[in-house]
Chains A and B, each alone.
Chain A
Amino acid sequence: MTETSYLDGNMLDGPLRELFAVDLSAATARCQTCGRAGPVGGLRVYSHAPGLVARCPACTAVLLRLVRTPDRAWLDLRGATFLAVPVPPERAGPPPG
Chain B
Amino acid sequence: MGIVSPGFQGRPRPAGPALPPGQYLTEDFPVLSAGPTPTVSPQDWEFVLATETGAEYRWSWPELMALPQETPTVDIHCVTRWSKRDTSWQGVSLDTLLDGVDTAAGYAVAHSYGGYSTNLPLTDLRDGRAWIAHTYEGRPLPAEHGGPARLLVPHLYFWKSAKWVRGIRLTTTDEPGFWETAGYHDYGDPWREQRYAGD
Contact = CB atoms under 8 A, between A and B. Distances in A.
A52 to B, nearest CB: 9
A54 to B, nearest CB: 10
Contacts, number: 70
A25 B31 CA distance: 27
Interface in B165-181: 179, 181
A4 B36 CA distance: 6
Contacts of B33: 4, 46, 48-49
B138 interface: no
Contact of B36 (A51, A60, A70, A76): A60
Interface string B57-94: 00000000000000000000001100000000000000
B184 A62 contact: no
Nearest to A55: B35
A45 to B, nearest CB: 10
Given A50-B32, A50-B159, A70-B196, A3 B37 contact: yes
Sorted from nearest, which 7 A-B pairs have the closest CB atoms? A74-B183, A67-B183, A4-B33, A69-B196, A53-B34, A49-B34, A2-B144
Interface of A: 1-4, 6, 46, 48-51, 53, 55, 60-62, 65, 67, 69-70, 72, 74, 76
